[in-house]
Structure 1
């Protein structure tokens, strides 16, 4: 239960207040460590103040549920998100609101129906097999680089209907430049996009290159009459093009949905796969349990049940959620934990803070897949675990991502054993996602 305050006039606790800099130094030194310890130090609701930016953090599962589900009408998507990502994602599902979002979701949703997912699963297994051909016995590989290449090939095949995206490097560079721009530890305040810093210039070049990629894909698909390179299976791209021909979606909306799915459909999954492989490499006992499970079936299919593999993925997503913060803005004044939160207040919901809170998890900093028993899941508050968000705007690709993680991980470990090396470290970067701050090397044994 959220601790109730008795005086409505109480001031919301604020992380270290320094003249001019506010909370910038405390947060900037180690944002993830700050998120881990702040709930115990400041309580379930506290304010963070950085030059040009102030927001209130909710770090209690009940409050997360209030914002995302129970009282979601009191909160809206953060307008600042449009300022930061609007030029890139436009009216895609991550940034769109109201009727535009509802219409977009209506046209995107069929690409993620259960029957379609099973078809995608076969492609996921095939693409993983292709990636494994690059891995040589005894060699060291950067699993983040490999995972990014793999998940990009999967989204290209399943969502865009092409066997490969020739412009893969442009897409990967764009994702890297986009997430790099949002690293808060570089300076204690945000730098507007119009300031011609090296990071901003790289971001602009990357978004231009990404637009070129999308235009090339759409041009090829229109010239082929919408047919795909990968069988005759309909995909997201063809569905959006059909909606465009009927007048239901504009060319700009089609572009925005495709850019959103291209980036969100591979970046966060690559991060999750990287951390899961890295954790298993560093925890041999857990790795062997997964190895035994994935190598037992005579054949691996999208329908194969892999409970321990699923628990390892769930635990990796708890410890290292690729999306580690969600932002909303109060649409009306709300009262939470006894504090009055005025209309127009920016609110932060941090997966990192909640997932690593010892109120919900024993030994929360330990990688323990076995914790996810049916009894534990039954007793855990629903929003003490929300790697994909929740409520009406829960990630539309959640089931796709979980299936992809399960099949890629299982296919990899059926073929090779991943071992840690002294340099195997999982150190996330506090950027737009919690991607690794550098290569994640492991050794491959066949």
Structure 2
């Protein structure tokens, strides 16, 4: 025992000497440096366990900019929204593709031979605009109503069903989205089952800190999904504007082999389908918890869905009618639950000037991280009582959208960033908004929803999901629902 203890102390002493000898020191013109107490590892454990809590603590300690060591890397975190443009629009000093390529390989086992983010974004923009966007909207609406009609036939109009709200939202939106993007309905349930398992393990895949059993489970779901997503027949049977066929054609023109194409399909499936279900859960959950907000949204639903029927599409009415209350509810929901990181790599020494006038030098090879969830979205100087859901937060008294928010007497250019900004902005924003609106209005038109226990609160967020888009709950909210009569 004494020998073991002595060896342990010698090891700690050796690591401490290495830390003192080779550890990085802050230069006078650099942001505050916080390396943590553990050599090399630094703050990796805190960052992975609850990034929002950790970065909020660092902000209180160091201010709006600081550098932390995370598993051997040095990450400069910028939390001044009025300074974000200095990073987002500088494509000379900062690179966004290297981090994305690393995550593609680590999470999805995808290595593209000639990855060109600009070309990929142009392809995506084509499919989320104009006629292609209209086509996706119609397909999504059609499949959603078909799923509800099938559920109605199974359930009838008198029987109450109990289910978790998260499971209900995720299942309906994923299956409708899968059929809309992949134009298949022969294996939807199998894909959904494997996808949910893969999605649960994805944050651990990214870090990575999977146990042996979790790694085996994630690998099994990955491999099964690659097979399930693989096209069943020759391409070209549909118009190239259909999403899956167009994507495979794009990959083929880039020299991507068939195996990598299947893996890339899983990556795009996750990208397009991982956020809608969680967003709908939080939105409906907040409405169920706040009767006043639910009443206001239902009033708009009745104004738009005047003759609701699952056999007739409400899409045209939804796209043309103004719904300021719903729009504010959606913005508030996303403010509370959209929590993606925006990463850049410093590829050339950069002198960064903040909105305060202060300047800091950033080292080549370091990473820069913007985290809009902490600031501006949860900044109490910008949003009063930021942890509370206030459905009118983004409404003026005349029911127009409120766009004036201030910090320190200065109007904020960015006061809510669920869709990112600049070259990092979400290409599918308009499709996502119309999807959520269609889903919520359709559900509230055709279903009676109640919480099983009126005193239930919304579950806490899963803190490991910070950085991966929409937050997910650590549990579920049990609800009862049935179809309304004469629908």
Q: Are 1:36 and 1:353, in contact at CA under 8 Å, matched by a contact in 2?
A: yes
1:205 aligns to what?
220
CA pair 425-207 structure 1, distance change in 2 beyond 3 A: same
**Structure 2 alignment gaps of length 5 or more:** 1-25, 308-313, 406-410
Question: CA-to-partner distance for each residue in 1:207-233, whole Å, 9 max, x for gaps?
Answer: 212211222xx233x2xx5335xxx79
2:237 aligns to what?
227
Q: For 1:416 and 1:16, how far apart are their aligned partners in 2?
A: 53
- The CA deviation at 1:242 is 4.4
Moved more, 398-407 or 328-337: 328-337
CA pair 238-51 structure 1, distance change in 2 beyond 3 A: closer
- The CA deviation at 1:8 is 7.7
Is 1:439 matched with 2:476?
A: yes
Question: For residues 227-306 of structure 1, what are the structure 2 equivalents within 5 Å?
Answer: 227=237, 234-243=241-250, 247=253, 250-251=256-257, 254-255=261-262, 257-297=264-304, 298-299=306-307, 300-302=314-316, 303-305=319-321, 306=323
Q: For 2:478 and 2:332, how far apart are their aligned partners in 1?
A: 21
- The CA deviation at 1:414 is 1.4
Is 1:9 matched with 2:9?
A: no
- The CA deviation at 1:274 is 1.4
- The CA deviation at 1:88 is 4.6
Question: For residues 45-124 of structure 1, what are the structure 2 equivalents within 5 Å?
Answer: 45-69=65-89, 71-77=90-96, 79-86=98-105, 88-89=107-108, 100-124=116-140
Q: For 1:104 and 1:64, how far apart are their aligned partners in 2?
A: 24
Q: Is the partner of 2:402 in helix, strand or coil? A: helix
Q: For 1:410 and 1:269, how far apart are their aligned partners in 2?
A: 14
Is 1:426 matched with 2:459?
A: yes
- The CA deviation at 1:131 is 4.3
1:156 aligns to what?
178
Q: Is the partner of 1:384 in helix, strand or coil? A: coil
Moved more, 77-86 or 110-119: 77-86
1:352 aligns to what?
373
Q: For 2:215 and 2:104, how far apart are their aligned partners in 1?
A: 13
Q: What is the aligned counterpart of 1:339 among 347, 360, 364?
A: 360
Q: Are 1:67 and 1:75, in contact at CA under 8 Å, matched by a contact in 2?
A: yes
- The CA deviation at 1:36 is 4.1
Q: Are 1:329 and 1:344, in contact at CA under 8 Å, matched by a contact in 2?
A: yes
- The CA deviation at 1:61 is 1.0
2:334 aligns to what?
317
2:428 aligns to what?
397
Q: For 1:129 and 1:27, how far apart are their aligned partners in 2?
A: 41
Q: Is the partner of 1:296 in helix, strand or coil? A: helix
CA pair 308-426 structure 1, distance change in 2 beyond 3 A: same
Q: CA RMSD in A?
A: 3.2
Q: Are 1:74 and 1:332, in contact at CA under 8 Å, matched by a contact in 2?
A: yes
1:326 aligns to what?
342
Q: Are 1:240 and 1:254, in contact at CA under 8 Å, matched by a contact in 2?
A: no
**Structure 1 alignment gaps of length 5 or more:** 1-6, 185-189
CA pair 202-155 structure 1, distance change in 2 beyond 3 A: same
- The CA deviation at 1:276 is 1.1
Q: What is the aligned counterpart of 2:386 among 348, 360, 364?
A: 364
Q: Are 2:324 and 2:401, in contact at CA under 8 Å, matched by a contact in 1?
A: no
Is 1:128 matched with 2:144?
A: yes
- The CA deviation at 1:376 is 3.1
Q: For 1:105 and 1:328, how far apart are their aligned partners in 2?
A: 17
- The CA deviation at 1:175 is 2.2
Q: Are 1:124 and 1:407, in contact at CA under 8 Å, matched by a contact in 2?
A: no
Q: For 2:114 and 2:419, how far apart are their aligned partners in 1?
A: 20
Q: Are 2:165 and 2:281, in contact at CA under 8 Å, matched by a contact in 1?
A: yes
Q: For 1:346 and 1:11, how far apart are their aligned partners in 2?
A: 14
Q: Is the partner of 2:84 in helix, strand or coil? A: helix
Moved more, 286-295 or 248-257: 248-257
TM superposition score normalised by structure 1: 0.82
Structure with more relative contact order (C-alpha pairs < 8 Å, separation 6 or more): 1
Q: For 2:51 and 2:256, how far apart are their aligned partners in 1?
A: 40
Q: What is the aligned counterpart of 2:169 among 141, 144, 147?
A: 147
Q: Is the partner of 1:370 in helix, strand or coil? A: coil
Is 1:18 matched with 2:37?
A: yes
Question: CA-to-partner distance for each residue in 1:333-363, whole Å, 9 max, x for gaps?
Answer: 2233422111111111112211101232222
CA pair 241-406 structure 1, distance change in 2 beyond 3 A: same
1:409 aligns to what?
440
- The CA deviation at 1:289 is 0.9
- The CA deviation at 1:407 is 0.9
Q: For 1:319 and 1:9, how far apart are their aligned partners in 2?
A: 37
Aligned length: 417
